Structure 1
Amino acid sequence: MNNVEYKFQGDLKKGNYKLSKKIKKFSYENIPNEVKAHSKVCLLDLLGAILGGSITKPSDYAKKFVKKVYPGEECTVIGKSTKSNVIGATFANAFSANAIDIDDGYRPVKGHPGALVIPAALAVAEWANKSGKELMESIILGYEIGTRAGIVWHDYYPVYHSSGAWGTIASAAVTAKLLNFDVEEIYNALGTAEWRAPMNPMMRCIDYPSMSKDGIGWGSPTGVESALMAKEGFTGCPSLFGYPKYNKYIESLGEEYNILKLYFKPFACCRWAQPGIIGTLKILGKNNLAPEDINKIKVYTFKESSRLSTDPPSNADEAQYNIAYPIAVTIVDGKVGPKQLVDEKLKNTIILGLMNKIEIISDSRFDKKFPQNCESEVEITDRKGNVYISGHVQAKGDWDNPLSKEEILNKFKWLAEYSKSEQQIERIIDMINNIEKLRSVKDLMKLL
C-alpha cells in the first residue's frame, strides 16, 4: 500500500458512504422527463444491439457456456429461445450486446456503458419480478454511475482500461437498486465489484482483436455477482469514488445526467473508424462514384483511429477493429451490420481490392479534439485523377450530431429482424414506449 492510499483511508469510506446514500435515495419520480424519455431510446437501441449480436459466434459460445455452467430457468437469454439463471443471462446478453460493436458509448470514458448496464438490469428485474418503472430507474442510475466510474477510473489509472473494468461498478449499482439494498449493502457491493473488475488494457485488444473485446461480457455479470455477495454479508474495500478529488462526481448524481450525452452507432464497427465511413459516403453521394471508379482513398484521422488495423480481417472481431474494412464494405453495401461481418463478405474480392486502395494517416489536427469529438477527413482520387475531399467529418450519432428518432427506430428494426418477426418487433417497440405502465418485466422478456 502506498502512502497516499494509506493517508486517505478514512476519506475513502466517507465518500463511498455518501455515494451509497445517494444511490439509495435515487428515485424515478425525481428524474426529469427528458431523461426518462431518453432512457427509452437507450433501452431500444441496446436491445437492437443484443438482438443483432445474438446471431454471432461469440453469442453462440456464450449460450453454450451458460447452459453448462449457469443452468436455470429464471431469466431469458435474448434472441436464443433459452433460459439461464440471473448470472448466466447477464453473461450471455452482455456478450451479445457488444458482439457487433454497435452499442452505445460515452465519449469521455471511450467506452460502452449501456452494454454493461442493460443486460444486468433486465436479468435482475426479470429474476426479481420488477415493474417497468423500477427497471428504468435502475437503468438510468446505472448509466450515471457507470459514466462517472469510467471518468474516475481513467483519471486514477495510467492505462486505458476496457469498459468491463469500470462497468462492474455500474452493474453492481443496478443490482443493488433493483433489490432494494440498504446503504451498507450498497457500499459493499460497489467496493467488491471494483475489486473483482476485469483489468483489461484496451489498446492490446485493438492490436490483437478477439472475442474478449471490451471486457463487457465479463464486467456486467461480475457486478451482479458482487452485489449478490454483498447481500449475503460479504464486505468490500471502498471504491475509488471515495477519494476527495472525485467528490464532484458524487455531488452531481441526480443533478446532472450524463445519459443525455451518449452516442449511438449507425455502423457495426469501432467508433474510431466511423468518421472515415461518413466522409466516404459523403463523397460518394455527392459525386456518384462507383467502387470501380476509385483509385485511392486517404483517411486523415486521430492517432488512436490510425492504430486500427488495415489488414484483411480473418474473422468478425478483426473486421470490427479495422478501419479499412468497414470503409470498403460500406462502399460496396452501403452499410455495416451483422451481414457485413460474415465470412462471405470478409473474403469478397471487390472489398479486399478496395482495402488495398485505402491509406490511413495520423493527423494531429484530430488528436486535439479526441475523445470529446471523433473526427476525420477523407480524400478520394478517382481513375481520371479527380480529387474529392470530404472536409472535417464527425462520427454520426453523437449527442451534438445525433441520429434522428426515425434513424434510431429503423436501426432497431434492422437489427431485430435477424431473430424477430415484424409483429414481435412492433410489440417490443410499443412496450418500451409505454414501459412505465408495465407491471412486470417478465412480459417484455417473453418477447425477446
Structure 2
Amino acid sequence: MTGTVVEALTGHAMELRAAPLPPALADAAELAFVDWLGVTFGGSTGVPARALLDGLGPLSGPSRVVGGGAAPPPLAALVNGTAAHTLELDDIYAPGLFHPGAPIIAAALAVADQVRAPGETLLRALVTGYEIGCRVAADLGPAHYKNWHTTGTAGSVGAAAAAAEVLGAGEDVFAHALALAATMASGLQQTFRSDAMGKPLHAGNAAQAGVVAAALARGGVTGAPDVLEGDAGLGAATGAPSGWERCRAPLGTPSGSDLAIGAITIKPYPCCGHAFAVIDAVLELRAEGLAAGDVERLEVGTYATALAVAGIKRPRTVAERRFSIPHLASVALAAGAVTGETVESDGDAAGLRALADAVRLEIDPAFEERFPGRRGARVTAVTRSGARMTAEVPDRSGSPQCPLPPERVRRKFLDTAAAVVGTHGPHLLARIGGLRSGGTVADLDIGPAGT
C-alpha cells in the first residue's frame, strides 16, 4: 500500500503503539471514556437502543451492552454506538464536524470485552482510533458534511482503527481494516433534517462496521489500498475535494499534546453543538439582567452550517427541538438552563413559542471565516424599550478553547448515568480511574445497578 492515505494512517498508528502512553493522553482518553459511558448509559434506555435489542431478538455473546445484556461484538458495538449518540450529548471534534467517541469507543469496548483486554490497551486504542478517525474527518471537511454525516463515514474508519489496535493487528492487517471500513461507511444528512430517529444509528453502524472490518482483515480479507483518495474512493464519491493533507501530516510532538483526543469538545448541553455558542451568549445576557419578557427580538449571528443544521424555526418534536437555535435560545433565556427537561419542553408552553419567533438568524462573516475549527456566535437583544444588549462568544463551552473542568465531566457522567446505575456511579468512576494501573475492561460494571 505504498504511498496511499491508508498507509500513512497505518504508519501513524504503528508510531503511537511503539511509544509509551504519555500521562496527558491517558488522562484525555480516560475523560473521553467517562463522558462516553455516561451518555451511553443515558441513551441505553432510549427508543433506538431498546428497539435494536428487541428487534434483533434474544442475543448473548462475549461483549457487553451498556445498561445490561451481552451480544456478539459487532452487535454490541451497534447498540452501544447507537445509544451513545441518542441524547445528543456525545463529544465532538470540531475541525472534522465529527462525533468521534460514539462509534470509536463502542467498537473498542466491544473488541476489548471479547479478548478481555487490559485497561491500558483500551485507552491506547481510543487514542489511536480518535487520531485516525479525526484526521479522516478533517480531510473530508465541510463539503462532505453538506450531504453526509461524518460520524457515520469517518467514524467507520476510526472505529476500525480502535478495534484493530485492541487486537494488536500488524501493519498489513491494520491497513486492510481501515480500507474495508471505508467501503462500509454511510450516514446521510437528510436523516436528521426531518422528524426521524435514524441519526444515532449512524454512530452505531460505524462502530459495527469498524468491528467487522477489523475481524475481516484479521481473517485475511483485503481492502482497496487507495479507497480514500482514489478516483472512485470515499472522498470523490462524497464530494470532498480533499488532498488528504491532515491524514498524511506527521504526528507532531512526542508528548502527544497536539493529538486529536486532547482537542475534543465535551458537550455541556443535550442538543446540537452548532447551537452552543448561541446558548452561551443568551445565558450571558440573562446573567446581565435580560428577562424574557423584555425582549422585542434576538438577533443571532453565527456561521452558515449552524443555521443549515440547527436553524429549525418551528420545531414540532423533541428531535427537532434539539436542532432549533430559536427554541434553544428561548429555553436558555426563559429557564436559565439548557437541560434534557428544558430542551424537550413544548415550544407552546411558558411563552417559548413567542420568544422563539422573536429570534432572527443571520450568517456572520467573522464566524464563518473561523469555521469549522472554531465555533462562535453573537447575540444582540433588542428590548421593548429600544435598548440593545450584545454578548459575543468566540468559542463555545466545552471546546478546547473553553474546556469543561474534569470534575464537571464526571458530574455529567453521574447525572446522565444515574437512571441506570443509581448510586453505583462513583464506584464505576473509580474503576475507570484504575484502567491505566493494572485494571482490566472486565473490571467495569456497566450493567444496571445491582448487577
TM (norm. structure 2) is 0.87
Percent of residue pairs identical: 23
RMSD after superposition: 2.6
Structure 1 stretches lacking a partner, 5+ long:
1-8
Moved more, 324-333 or 90-99: 324-333
Look up the match of 1:52.
42
How far did residue 349 of structure 1 move? Answer: 4.6
Checking the alignment, whether the CA contact within 8 Å between 1:93 and 1:119 is kept in structure 2 is yes
2 CA distance for matches of 1:89 and 1:28? 29
Q: Is contact 1:16-1:242 (8 Å) kept? A: no
CA separation of 1:171 and 1:254: change in aligned 2, threshold 3 A: farther
Matching residue within 134, 137, 148 for 1:147? 134
Secondary structure of the structure 2 residue equivalent to 1:148: helix
Q: Higher mean Cα deviation, 438-447 or 428-437?
A: 438-447
Deviation, structure 1 residue 350: 2.5
- Counterpart in 2 of 1:4? none
2:312 pairs with 1:325: no
Find the counterpart in structure 1 of residue 236 from structure 2: none
Matches within 5 A, 1:50-199: 50-67=40-57, 71-79=59-67, 81-154=68-141, 161-162=148-149, 163-198=151-186
CA displacement, residues 101-133 of structure 1 (integer Å, 9 cap, x when unaligned): 111111111111111111111111112111111
Match of 1:315 in 2: 317
Query: CA shift at 1:397, angstroms?
Result: 1.1
1:444 aligns with 2:432: no
Partner of 1:429: 429
Aligned match of 2:296: 295
Asked if the contact 1:72–1:83 (Cα under 8 Å) also holds between the matched residues in 2, the reply is yes
Letter in 1 for 2:275: A
Distance 1:226 1:299, change over 3 A: same
Aligned match for 2:194, one of 208, 220, 229: 208
Q: 1:73 to 1:201 in 2, by over 3 A?
A: closer
Tell me: CA distance 1:122–1:239, structure 2 relative to 1, closer, same or farther (3 Å): farther
Secondary structure in 2 aligned to 1:125?
Answer: helix
Distance 1:439 1:158, change over 3 A: closer
Cα pair 1:210 1:318 within 8 Å, conserved:
no
Counterpart pick for 1:228 among 206, 215, 223: 215
Deviation of the 1:64 alpha carbon: 2.1
- Report if the CA contact (8 A) 1:153-1:240 is conserved: no
SS of residue matched to 2:420 = coil
8 Å contact 2:90–2:267 — kept in the other structure? yes
Q: 1:38 is matched with which residue: 21, 28, 31?
A: 28
One-letter amino acid of the structure 2 residue matched with residue 265 of structure 1: K
Structure 2: 5+ residue stretches without partners: 231-241
Give the number of aligned pairs. Answer: 430
CA contact (8 A) 1:105 1:111 kept: yes
C-alpha separation in 2, matches of 1:239 and 1:135: 28
For the residues of structure 2 that align with 1:302 and 1:250, how far apart are their CA atoms? 28
**Mapping for residues 251-290 of structure 1, pairs under 5 Å:** 252-253=250-251, 255=253, 256-287=258-289, 289-290=290-291
Tell me if structure 2 keeps the 8 A contact 1:431–1:438.
no
